[in-house]
Amino acid sequence: MKLAVVGGGWAGMAAAVAATQRGHTVSVFEATHTLGGRARMLQASLPDGQSVMLDNGQHILIGAYTETLRLMRCVGVNPDAVLLRRPLALPFADGSGLQTPNWAAHWPAPLDALAAIATAHGWNWRERWSLIRASLGWRMAGFTCLPSLSVAQLCQGLAPRVLHELIAPLCVSALNTPMEQACAQVFLRVLHDALFGIRGGSHLLLPQTDLTALFPDPAARWLMQHGAHVHMNQRVEQLNWQAGQWLVNTQPFERVILATSASNTAKTLMECAGASPKEIAKRMQTWADTANALRFESIATVYAWGEQARLPHPMLALHSTRDAPAQFVFDRGQFGGPQGLLAFVVSASTGSREALEAAVLQQARDQLANLALPTLQNVQTVVEKRATFACTPGLVRPEQPIAPGLWAAGDYLAGPYPATLEGAVRSGWGAGSVQP
C-alpha cells in the first residue's frame, strides 16, 4: 500500500522502516530540516569559538533497549561502534553510590545488579539489604502492583538513603516524574527490563555521536536506498478523508501514521474532523480528548564548559534538591564530544532558564569541588517544556489506532514504557508493522 508517515522523529523513522520492510511505498514528511524530533542534533559554539554538536537533551540508552538496538542494526548502524557501553554505575563525586564491580560486570541478570547493590560505596548493610529485599519482593510479585500506587508508596520500606540517593533520581530520570507522583507499575517495568531481564540489560549506553546521527539519519539513508521518500522541510498543512483514502497535502495515501507530538496530533485531528464522515470524526474527537488530557513535564540540559575539565567517570550522580536541581552530570569529552564539555540534566525541571542555569552552575561548584574543575562557563541551556508526559498512576494514554487507515506513533501512547527512546521506537515499529 501507499503509506505516509508524518514526523521524522525516532517513532516516525521506526514506523517508516517497518512499513518499508513490509513492501509498502512509504513517504516521510518532516516539518524541519533536522530529523530526530525531541532527540535530535543541535549546533552550538564553545566559549573559545569552537563549533560543537550538541543534542536538544542529554539522552542515554540502556542494554535493555532491545528494539532500539535491533533497529539500529537493521539500518546499518553498529551499536558497539557508536555507543560507549558501561556496566551500571551511578557514583557521586566522592565515590559513594551504586557501581557494578568489574568482576561482576558480565554476570547474568540479576546477579550483576545484586552485586552492585551489595557493594554500594557508602551504604551500610542495613541500607543494602533493604534494597535487595525489596527487589526480590518485586520479582516474586511478578513486577506488578496496584495501578494506583506511586513509586514513593511502592518504596516506602526502603532505607532513607537508598530512597533519596537511588530511587528518587532513577525514577525522575526514567519517568521524568517525581516519585511522589510517578506510576509504580511503569517504574517496575523499567526495573524488570533493566535489572532482571537480559544479560547486560542494566548497562549504560552513552552515545558517541549526536542523536540525529545515531539513528534518524542512517534510517533516512536506508529508507531512500529501499525506495522510500523522505521529505524535509515539508509541513503537513492538510489531512483529509476522501473516497476511502487519506489526502496528505492533496497527495492520496491508503494509510497515514501521525508520528508527531500528542498536542500536534490532536490539533491535526480536530482540524480534520469537521470535514470527515460522522463516525470517523467521532473517533478523532475521542482520541484527541484523551491526548489533550495528558499533562507534560519539562527536561532541561545545561551544557557547561571548562578547559580540560574532566570527571572521574563518564557520568556522575548529583544530590538533587530544589536549589540544586540537576540529577546527573555527563562528561561529553569521554564519549565523543570535546574535552571539557559537561551536560547537567534536570528532569522534571521548573523555573526560568536563567534561574536554572545559575542554580546548576552553583550546584557544580558545591558538589564537584573536590574534583578541582576549572571555572565552568555556560554554553547553552536546552529546555524541552513538553519533553514527556507526566507518568502518573492510573494514567489513560491514547491508543495507536485512531480511525480506519489512520494510526498514531509516539512515546506517549498506551504501552508499558515511559517516554523513552525505546518507547518511541516500539510504538513506531508497531504502527508500521500493521497489515492491511
- In the chain, the percentage of residues whose pLDDT exceeds 90 is 93
CA–CA gap between residue 112 and residue 105 (Å, rounded): 6
264 shares a domain with 115: no
308 shares a domain with 175: no
Task: State the burial class of residue 235 (Cβ atoms within 10 Å of its Cβ: 0-12, 13-18, 19+).
Answer: exposed
Q: Residue 52: inside a domain, yes or no? A: no
Residue-wise pLDDT tens digits, 363-397: 999 999 999 999 999 999 999 999 999 999 999 99
Q: Residue 55: inside a domain, yes or no? A: no
80 SS3 class: helix
Residue 183 has pLDDT above 90, yes or no: yes
pLDDT value for 37: 95
286 shares a domain with 408: yes
307 shares a domain with 290: no
CATH code for the domain in which residue 350 is found: 3.90.660.20
Task: State the burial class of residue 267 (Cβ atoms within 10 Å of its Cβ: 0-12, 13-18, 19+).
Answer: middle
Residue after which a domain boundary falls, among 202, 225, 242:
202
Residue 324 has pLDDT above 90, yes or no: yes
421 shares a domain with 368: no
Count of domains in the chain? 3
CB 142 within 8 A of CB 191: no
Q: Residue 97: inside a domain, yes or no? A: yes
CATH code for the domain in which residue 399 is found: 3.50.50.60
Residue-wise pLDDT tens digits, 6-56: 999 999 999 999 999 999 999 999 999 999 999 999 999 999 888 999 999
Using CA atoms, how far residue 236 sits from 5, 71, 113, 232, 306, in Å, is 10, 26, 46, 11, 42
| pTM, full prediction | 0.95
Using CA atoms, how far residue 102 sits from 86, 115, 432, in Å, is 10, 10, 41
Task: State the burial class of residue 296 (Cβ atoms within 10 Å of its Cβ: 0-12, 13-18, 19+).
Answer: middle
CB 40 within 8 A of CB 34: yes
CB 414 within 8 A of CB 339: no
Q: Residue 61: inside a domain, yes or no? A: no
pLDDT value for 48: 87
Query: In what helix (H) or strand (E) does residue 266 lie, and over which residues does it extend?
Result: helix 262-273
308 shares a domain with 276: no
pLDDT value for 436: 72
Q: Residue 48: inside a domain, yes or no? A: no
Neighbours of 148 (CB within 10 A): 11
List CB contacts of 296: < 8 A, sequence separation 6 or more.
Answer: 385, 386, 387, 388, 389, 390
Name the pLDDT band for 266 (thresholds 50, 70, 90). Answer: very high
114 shares a domain with 188: yes
218 shares a domain with 244: yes
CA–CA gap between residue 189 and residue 206 (Å, rounded): 22
194 shares a domain with 95: yes
Residue-wise pLDDT tens digits, 51-76: 999 999 999 999 999 999 999 999 99
Phi, psi at 333, each rounded to 5°: -65, -20
Phi, psi at 269, each rounded to 5°: -65, -40
Name the pLDDT band for 234 (thresholds 50, 70, 90). Answer: very high
List CB contacts of 196: < 8 A, sequence separation 6 or more.
Answer: 109, 110, 113, 135, 139, 143
Residue 110: is the preceding peptide bond cis (ω within 30°)? yes
Residue 203 has pLDDT above 90, yes or no: yes
226 shares a domain with 172: no
> Residue 318's domain spans which residues?
296-389
Q: What is the mean pLDDT of residues 114-132?
A: 93
Q: Residue 306: inside a domain, yes or no? A: yes
Angle between helices 66-74 and 216-225 (to 10 degrees): 40
Q: What is the mean pLDDT of residues 208-224?
A: 97
400 shares a domain with 374: no
pLDDT value for 274: 87
Q: Residue 77: inside a domain, yes or no? A: no
Q: What is the mean pLDDT of residues 78-105?
A: 94
Residue after which a domain boundary falls, among 181, 202, 223:
202
The alpha carbon torsion through 13, 17, 18, 19 (nearest 10 deg) reads 100
Q: Residue 53: inside a domain, yes or no? A: no
List CB contacts of 323: < 8 A, sequence separation 6 or more.
Answer: 359, 362, 363
Q: Nine-digit cell at 217?
A: 539519519
Residue-wise pLDDT tens digits, 268-298: 999 999 889 999 999 999 999 999 999 999 9
Residues paired with 229 in a beta bridge? 27
pLDDT value for 243: 84
Name the pLDDT band for 311 (thresholds 50, 70, 90). Answer: very high
pLDDT value for 435: 80
Cα angle at 186 between 391 and 96, to 5 degrees?
Answer: 95
Q: What is the mean pLDDT of residues 175-182?
A: 96
302 shares a domain with 288: no
Using CA atoms, how far residue 283 sits from 269, 290, 389, in Å, is 9, 11, 22
Angle between helices 421-433 and 66-74 (to 10 degrees): 60
Q: Both ends of the chain: CA-CA distance in Å?
A: 8
Residues paired with 183 in a beta bridge? 150
Residue after which a domain boundary falls, among 202, 233, 254:
202
